[in-house]
Amino acid sequence: MTTPAYTAYVKIAEGCDHRCAFCAIPLIRGRYRSRTLEDIRAEVERLAAAGVKEINLIAQDSTNYGRDLYGAPTLSRLLRMLCQVEGVRWLRILYAYPRFFTDELIETIAAEPKICKYIDLPLQHAHDAVLRSMRRADDRAMIEALLDKIRARIPEAVIRSTFIVGFPGETDAQYQTLRRFLEKQRFDQVGVFTYSQEEGTPAAAMGGQVAEDVMQERYHDLMSLQSKISEETNHSLEGRVLEVLVEGRDEEQENIAYGRSYREAPEVDGQIYIEGDTGSRPGDMVKVRILQGFAYDIVGERVEG
């Protein structure tokens, strides 16, 4: 993956031990294999020495990190170790499967200033029968308890999730349960996908495949609900000052730069446009007061300090 000089993805493990019915990754990549703590630390040290400020830790399932090598989830230990690396400003954990999101991990994220309070928790659905059929390890009650715990301990946490609509057998009533779940949880960032048949997976052979037009209808309905929620959330940020990692300048207006705060992951989330900024360069970290929040992007102004 090619990334700009100030941000990098670091793979902490390969493969996956889950067997989600819709997913071909375990068939392609095999069982979960963690890299050692020392190996990851050495890579992060090299990246930081080369000027990288934001490290995005990735795996098919980040919260499972270390169970194969060290006999227990070890992500907290890894994070604490990486927080010591000089030059690293932000550590961001992506793809955290809910099952091993431990209390220790929540405490570590809450306590370490360098760890972005950004929780990427792919949940896929919220109806228990669909979750079972998807062969997910968590049910709705466990998911809600985890979300409550995260929010209670890390009030500024931004929670992102992804969902699949149109999984085989998904009824309209089950879809409506998912919709109500999103309405209630008010996630900060959401990705919605229509189910797609992956060759060799159990779901591809299931009965009750949902018609394309029904999937599209559910997709657009969920996206428009989320767009309203995101707009309200971004609107509520107005007046707040956030640290922003500058990523570039507007091509047409020289005095507008853009970048991301801890609230936005690279590539998947929106941007913050910084008005009245003439001096910053990609990779700089600047303070920005939020002026206006829209459904996707945010507009702010540069402030000193």
Q: Does 138 bind ligand SF4 (CB under 6 A)?
A: no
Name the nearest CA neighbour of 266 among 77, 86, 54, 95. 54
The residue among 19 and 220 lying less far from ligand SF4, judged by its C-beta, is 19
Q: Does 26 bind ligand SF4 (CB under 6 A)?
A: yes
**What does the block give as tokens for 74?**
């070890």
Binders of ligand SF4 among residues 48 to 77 (CB under 6 A) are 60-61
Q: In this structure, what are the phi and psi dihedrals at residue 58, rounded to the nearest 5 degrees?
A: -130, 155
- For the chain, state the CA radius of gyration: 20
Q: Does 191 bind ligand SF4 (CB under 6 A)?
A: no
Stretch that binds ligand SF4, among 22-30, 141-149, 238-246, 273-281 (CB under 6 A): 22-30
Q: Are strands 158-165 and 118-120 parallel, antiparallel or unpaired?
A: parallel
**120 membership: H or E segment, kind and range:** strand 118-120
Instruction: Using CA atoms of 102, 108, 113, 116 in order, give the dihedral in degrees to the nearest 10.
Output: -20
Stretch that binds ligand SF4, among 19-27, 50-58, 82-90, 267-275 (CB under 6 A): 19-27
Binders of ligand SF4 among residues 78 to 137 (CB under 6 A) are 97
To ligand SF4, the closest distance from the beta carbon of 134 in angstroms equals 8
CA distance 123 to 34: 22
Stretch that binds ligand SF4, among 20-28, 43-51, 100-108, 240-248 (CB under 6 A): 20-28
Cβ–Cβ under 8 Å, residues 275 and 255: yes
To ligand SF4, the closest distance from the beta carbon of 9 in angstroms equals 16
Contacts to ligand SF4 by CB under 6 A: 16, 18-20, 23, 25-26, 60-61, 97
